[in-house]
Amino acid sequence: MAEKETGAKKPTLARTVKDKWRSKHWYRVRAPGMFQHVDLGETVASEPEQLVGRTLETTLPELSSAADSGKAHVKLRFRIERLSGDGVAEARFVGHDLTSDYVRRLARRKRSKIDLALTVTTKDGVQVVVKPVAVGEQRLQTRLRAELRHRIVTILTEEAQQRASAEFVHEMLQGELSKLLAHGVKSLYPLKKIEIRRSIVLGIIADELPVPVPAAAPEGPAAPVEAAEGTAT
């Protein structure tokens, strides 16, 4: 007869369920100086180091004043770079996009669309990838399309070289750069519409750099201490 087990079964250890949300904290995210350091919103993380590299997206009207209410199709992208001393996540501008439905409305049926992509360098040495889209009212011949492409590339390259990166980005987002392009190609062909549909900032814009901490003065020989009045020498 098989010998019966006499030992009692070991009690099953109860699993400790840890509430992950209790260990997380909310952090405010702040835009760079070229956007007046406005709040971009909040994000959550367990450790501050987890914030670095996160990308946030907002629209131009949400970020700026009511004057940009007609630019809801302009989406801005920011990337968190560091956590400031007051516990706020500092982000820098890394590019923008136009919404896909807005771009589709530009190039309707029987219209000719020209897409470009080029990298320009601003006056202060920051490289920016810009992707313009130009739309003609009717079908354009191959030769004319090539001439328009060349003219657009030339204008964008020259305008970037004459402007600091912050100024170049501002004019791009506000549509002033598109107006310059439309005026520049008018002698070749009056385009129906031209927009910068996407941009990618490859460098750091000047007013986004952290404020440098002044170096400590080198230690030298101590200055002689003058004797107080009435002290014997």
* 107 and 188 share one domain: yes
Per residue in 62-109, pLDDT tens?
Answer: 887 655 668 889 999 999 998 887 778 999 999 999 999 998 888 776
Per residue in 10-68, pLDDT tens?
Answer: 555 555 545 565 667 888 899 998 888 899 988 888 887 888 999 999 998 888 765 56
- % of the chain residues with pLDDT over 70: 76
* 40 and 124 share one domain: no
pLDDT given at position 8: 55
- Which residue range forms the structural domain that includes residue 55? 23-98
What is the model's pTM? 0.76
Per residue in 149-199, pLDDT tens?
Answer: 999 999 999 999 999 999 999 999 999 999 999 999 999 988 888 999 999
30, part of any domain:
yes
* 104 and 173 share one domain: yes
Instruction: Among 98, 126, 141, give the residue marking a domain's end.
Output: 98
Secondary structure of the chain in HEC code, one letter for each residue:
CCCCCCCCCCCCCCCCCCCHHHHCEEEEEECCHHHCCCEEEEEEECCHHHHCCCEEEEEHHHHCCHHHCCCCCEEEEEEEEEECCCCCEEEEEEEEEECHHHHHHHCCCCCEEEECCEEEECCCCCEEEEEEEEEECCCCCHHHHHHHHHHHHHHHHHHHHCCCHHHHHHHHHHCHHHHHHHHHCCCCCCCCEEEEEEEEECCCCHHHCCCCCCCCCCCCCCCCCCCCCCCCC
* 91 and 112 share one domain: no
